[in-house]
A and B are shown apart, each in its own frame.
Chain A
Amino acid sequence: MSETMTWFAPDRTAADPAELPPLAPAGPPAVASAAPVLSVGSPATARLLLADAWLSLVGPAVPAGGPGAGLTESAIAHLARLGPRPPGTRALVDLVERVGLTGHGGAHGPVALKWRAVLRGTGPLTLVANGAESEPVSAKDGTLMRQRPHLVLDGMALAAEALGARRVVVWLHGDDDGARAAIEHALAERRHLPGADLPVEVVSGPSHYLSGESNAIARAIAGGPALPTLRRFPGPGEPSTVVQNVETLARLALVARGLVPTTVLATVLTPTGRRVVEVERTVRVADLLTGVGWSLGPPPQAVLVGGYGGTWIAWSQVADLRMDPEDFRAAGFALGAGVVVPLPPGACGVTETAAMTAYLASMSAHQCGPCLFGLPALAGSLELLASGRAPAGELARLHADVRAVEGRGACRHPDGATRLIASAVGVFADHLADHAEGRPCQSVPRSVFPMPQEQR
């Protein structure tokens, strides 16, 4: 099925060759050449975006090891690898449409669609590169900014030129000092290069889960609080903001040069830490896990895909899916921002879901009633069910509350929680019934998934 999709078939003729620098990078990629060929599958030369990095279980994407640890591509190395960026013109809108570039913040919406809506606006435009990666496990954006800041900045400049943005902002989590340092260093390097980018502001927002939400960013950039608000289209002449994920912009920088990556970035949680990898979209989930060291025991019972606001998928359904947003969508799932969290042997999916829901409840912006009251109610029900102390009817109450919360916030935060719970109810149905009838798991740790420090 995927063979018919332009996204998977890199079509280098899609770009006008006359406008493009040579397709082949000058020499082997500076960063990827340091990476051994992993069992996950992609040859080192195919890694246009990043080299594998090993990270701690939680927190900003500070590398602890792996071929990509400590690597930051300099402006010189970046230019030697890819050549200078072409100018950003309106033709870029058609190009991103032809290659099927989608948003890599998790929603995978077509970039061209978003851009055409932006271009209908007549007011001053602000372009935001969103590097505030809020899913506790996800670290691909932080890793990308540390390793290839110039790719992100090229993409920003291209998008800003193509859309006619007046203001260009890199938006980061307040605690991500490493990303800020890499971006600021890269900006300083670029001042000595020919070519004129718009001046870039680097803004560190709060470190809250919701400070990466695009409406919250738009509000903060306009001088308000970094809190989500209702989606609303700007009137004629009103200022507007377009938010693009940093990986999307890095891909744009490649696409504009006629290089269409056939890979995805994934963050995999292992018992010892996170692995950020760039893998071919043809790699199966089972092989991805093997590649990062999950081959040692029996397969996991289920895999959480998309992060703590993502969905559980039973191993039998997920093992053969390819790391491909379209493959997931065709199967009725979503790959999101590429977070893959296997349920370790001996852990309990109900207990983990309860812990994640409590985390999501704590990360509510406390603005909308159904989220403010609904998420703690859901977390409370799950906690009772996980412990096996739930009164009769608690499972029915959980179902009713999921329905009561779904779609009723100003932002999608509560929907992440209800989606997570709905998937858990499906994947762990028998197990959950045992819990509900007072037969919880014996000798199961409270929760094995890492949780960030409370940041409110």
Chain B
Amino acid sequence: MSRRVVQGAVLRVDPLLCEGVGLCARIAADAIDLDRWGYPVVGPLEPGALAQARRAVKACPRRALWVEEPAAR
């Protein structure tokens, strides 16, 4: 997740809402890793992972995820 993708979309998590359900990492395996306690590690998205990430956002039972898009020009 340390790879910087300039100007791309970024997947974010609200750590207060996240309960480590882990559904997101199953849906968006290319975008999300779980840490060893089961909480998602998120960050800049590869363009190819954007669709997955959006599905994960919709699926999150805690509504803890969102995709931050770069500002529209």
The stretch of A47-55, A109-117, A402-410 in contact with B is A402-410
Using Cβ atoms and an 8 Å threshold, which residues of chain B touch A307? none
Shortest A269–chain B CB gap in Å is 32
Q: Measured between C-beta atoms, what is the minimum distance from A158 to chain B in Å?
A: 35
How many angstroms between the C-alpha atoms of A401 and B36 in the bound complex? 9
Once the chains bind, are B14 and A369 in contact (CB under 8 Å)? no
A370 lies within 8 A of B14 (CB): no
Complex CA distance for A229 and B15, rounded to whole angstroms: 9
Expressed in whole angstroms, the Cα–Cα distance for A368 and B16 within the complex equals: 5
Query: Among the listed A369, A377, A408, which residue makes an inter-chain contact with B38, where contact means beta carbons less than 8 Å apart?
Result: A369
Number of interface residues of A (CB under 8 A): 15
Chain B neighbourhood of A401, CB < 8 A: 36
In the bound complex, what is the Cα–Cα distance between A202 and B40 (angstroms)? Answer: 41
**Chain B interface size, under 10 / 10 to 19 / 20 to 34 / 35 or more:** 10 to 19
> CB within 8 A of A408: which of B15, B19, B36?
B15
Chain B residues with CB below 8 A from A368, complex form: 15-16, 18
Interface residues of A in 273-322 (CB under 8 A from B): none
Please state if B19 and A369 are interface contacts (CB–CB under 8 Å).
yes
Q: Is the CB of B16 within 8 A of A229?
A: yes
The reply to whether B37 and A373 contact each other, CB–CB distance below 8 Å, is yes
**Which of A229, A367, A369, A410 contacts B37 (CB under 8 A)?**
A369
Complex Cα gap A409–B20 (Å): 13
Distance, CA A401 to CA B14, complexed state (A): 20
A408 to chain B minimum Cβ distance, whole angstroms, is 6
Q: Is A230 an interface residue (CB 8 A)?
A: yes
Q: Interface digits, A361-372 against B, CB 8 Å rule (1 contact, 0 not)? A: 000000111110
Counting chain A CB atoms within 10 Å of each CB, the highest count among B15, B19, B36 belongs to B15
Q: Which of these, B14, B37, B38, contacts A230 with CB under 8 Å?
A: B14
- Nearest Cβ in chain A — how far from B71, in angstroms? 16
| Docked CA distance A409–B14 (Å) | 9
A-chain residues with CB within 8 Å of residue B20 when the two chains form the complex: 369
| Assembly CA distance A410 to B39 (angstroms) | 14
Of all chain A residues, the one with the shortest Cβ separation from B14 is: A230
Cα–Cα, bound, A230→B18 (Å)? 13
Residue ranges of A at the interface with B (Cβ–Cβ < 8 Å) = 229-230, 367-371, 373-374, 377, 401, 404, 408-410
| 4 A-B pairs with the lowest CB-CB distances in the bound complex, closest first | A368-B15, A373-B37, A369-B39, A404-B35
**Given A368-B15, A409-B15, 12 other A-B residues pairs in contact with their CB atoms under 8 A:** A229-B16, A369-B37, A369-B38, A369-B39, A370-B37, A370-B39, A373-B37, A374-B35, A404-B36, A408-B39, A410-B14, A410-B16
